[in-house]
Structure formats: structure tokens, C-alpha cells
């Protein structure tokens, strides 16, 4: 589904991605974890063709199609068009009834679709972006912090949808429950490199590698003090 080979990228003078390689197969649901949010976002932007890597390459499988939930989606909502018209612009079927069905799944009922996209709340924007991903029919989903601005009920619904999705997902998320119940593989960025494990999140946190990292961090912190 995806092959990443010796990928590197420097952002603002810092090498946030440093010669990383990995391969994804159908059914992989990968949580990208760790404190380096810039590395995760940069990787997603590269995989979506929004940024060019400094070195290395990546290749999507010929039968794949991707849908992306960016951390910053403000550019999507600067016009004053209606939600219906906004989503119809991304729909393969230009039919308002078809579009309304996808909005309904995201709790836009009745005349909600008449709202102008430039006055939507943060949570409404998130639900619009999720509708856009669903209507695309993509078989690879990439999420960069999708739970921002969502209430607990909406997070639970998103969690269930991600669990049921039958193909590849790549995501970064700070909601522990969502990561634990969705991911079957963990990739953590550490100083631009990656630790890649086929495991659940809780098992990863309890692993020897994590225990060693905590010990090293503790020593470094004490030396700084």
C-alpha cells in the first residue's frame, strides 16, 4: 500500500525526519506517536504531496487513493459558500441528495447544510472534513489530530468509525483510548528517527524500549538540573 525509503526533511534548520524507511500493508492502522508534532505533520504533508522531501522517496500502491485530515484546515473554510456546495465540490456524484446523506452522517440535519462555511465552529469544521473524507471513497485515510474541537460523543463516534474502516489508516492523535483501540502498529519519532512496532499502544508503552527511553530522559533531565 505504501513504501517509504530513506526519507529526510529539514524544517527551519532542524532535521525533523532523518533517513526513515517503512512499508505499509493492507489493514495496517498506524498511530504516529511521540512529542515531535512537527515531524508527524511534515511526514503526512510529504505523503500527500504538499511538501517535497529533501532526500529519499515514497510510493503509494497503484490501487490506493488517499484522503487527508490536516491539523490546520482553515484554508478550506475561507469562502462564504454553503456547506452543501462546499462538499458537493469534492463529491464524485454531483447530486444534492447524495451529498446530504454524507452530511447527515456527521449530524448536519435539516437546514444545517445551508450554513456558510466561513462562520462554522471548530467542531463543525471537523465534521465537514470528516464528511469530505468519507465522500471521497479513499482506501487510505490520514488523520492529523482529528479529535481537536470534538466533544466526547463525537470522539467516540470517530473512534468507532476508524476501528471499522477496513483498509489503511495513518494517524496522530492525543486521545489515548482512540489510539489504543484503533492502532495495530505504533511508529514513534525520536530525534527524527523512528521506532516501528507491530503492537497496541499500551503494549508499546510498557515495552523495554520505552522503559529505556524514560531512564535516559531522567538522566538527561538530572544533568540539566
- Region 28-39: what's the mean pLDDT? 94
The CATH number of the domain holding residue 18 is 3.40.50.300
Query: Can you tell me which residue has the cell 507491530?
Result: 198
Residue 132's pLDDT is 93
177 and 114 within one domain: no
Among candidate residues 137, 160, 175, the one where a domain is terminated: 137
Pair 217, 145 in one domain: yes
Please, which residues have CB within 8 angstroms of residue 164's CB and are 6 or more apart in sequence? Answer: none
Boundary of a domain, candidates 102, 118, 137 = 137
Nearest-CA neighbor of 38 among 74, 2, 11? 11
Domain boundary among 88, 112, 137: 137
15, 116: one domain: no
| CA–CA distance, 150 with 26 (Å, rounded to integer) | 28
Q: What is the pLDDT of residue 94?
A: 86
* Strand pairing class (66-69; 140-144): parallel
* pTM to 2 decimal places: 0.88
42 and 61 inside one domain: yes
**Is residue 58 located within the same domain as residue 152?**
yes
Number of domains the chain is built from: 2
Mean pLDDT confidence for 90-97 = 88
- Cα 50-52-56 angle, rounded to 5 deg: 135
> Could you tell me if 170 and 220 lie in one domain?
yes
pLDDT tens sequence across 147-168: 988 889 889 989 999 999 999 9
Nine-digit cell at 199? 503492537
pLDDT value at position 213?
Answer: 59
Task: Outline where DSSP puts E strands in 34-113.
Answer: 55-60, 66-69
Any idea which of 4-8, 15-19, 80-84 has the lowest mean pLDDT?
A: 80-84
Same structural domain, 126 and 149: no
The residue range of the domain holding 36 is 2-65+139-224
**pLDDT per residue over 187-210, tens digit each?**
999 999 999 999 999 999 988 565
pLDDT at 19 over 90: yes
Q: Phi, psi (5° rounding) for residue 27?
A: 95, -10
Do 92 and 6 sit in the same domain of this protein?
Answer: no
Q: Tell me: do 99 and 114 sit in the same domain.
A: yes
Residue 112 binned pLDDT confidence (cut-offs 50, 70, 90): confident
Beta-bridge mates of residue 169: 29, 141
Q: Are 83 and 95 in contact (CB under 8 A)?
A: no
Tell me the C-alpha distance between 46 and 58, whole Å. Answer: 9
Amino acid at each position: 500500500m505504501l513504501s517509504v525509503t530513506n526519507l529526510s526533511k529539514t524544517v527551519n534548520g532542524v532535521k525533523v525526519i532523518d533517513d526513515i524507511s517503512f512499508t505499509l500493508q493492507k489493514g495496517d492502522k498506524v498511530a504516529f506517536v511521540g512529542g515531535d508534532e512537527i515531524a508527524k505533520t511534515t511526514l503526512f504533508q510529504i505523503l500527500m504531496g504538499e511538501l517535497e522531501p529533501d532526500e529519499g522517496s515514497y510510493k503509494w500502491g497503484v490501487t490506493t487513493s488517499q484522503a487527508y485530515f490536516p491539523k490546520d484546515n482553515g484554508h478550506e473554510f475561507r469562502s462564504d459558500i454553503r456547506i452543501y456546495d462546499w462538499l458537493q465540490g469534492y463529491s464524485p456524484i454531483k447530486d444534492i441528495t447524495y451529498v446530504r446523506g454524507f452530511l447527515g452522517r456527521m449530524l448536519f440535519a435539516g437546514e444545517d447544510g445551508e450554513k456558510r462555511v466561513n462562520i462554522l465552529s471548530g467542531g463543525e469544521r471537523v465534521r465537514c472534513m470528516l464528511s469530505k473524507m468519507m465522500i471521497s471513497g479513499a482506501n487510505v485515510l490520514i488523520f492529523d489530530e482529528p479529535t481537536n474541537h470534538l466533544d466526547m460523543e463525537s470522539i467516540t463516534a470517530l473512534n468507532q468509525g476508524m476501528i471499522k474502516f477496513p483498509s489503511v489508516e495513518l494517524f496522530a492523535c492525543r486521545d489515548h483510548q482512540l489510539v489504543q483501540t484503533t492502532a495495530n502498529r505504533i511508529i514513534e519519532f525520536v530525534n527524527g528517527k523512528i521506532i516501528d512496532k507491530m503492537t497496541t499502544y499500551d503494549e508499546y508503552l510498557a515495552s523495554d524500549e520505552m522503559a529505556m527511553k524514560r531512564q535516559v530522559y531522567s538522566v538527561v533531565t538530572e544533568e540539566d538540573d
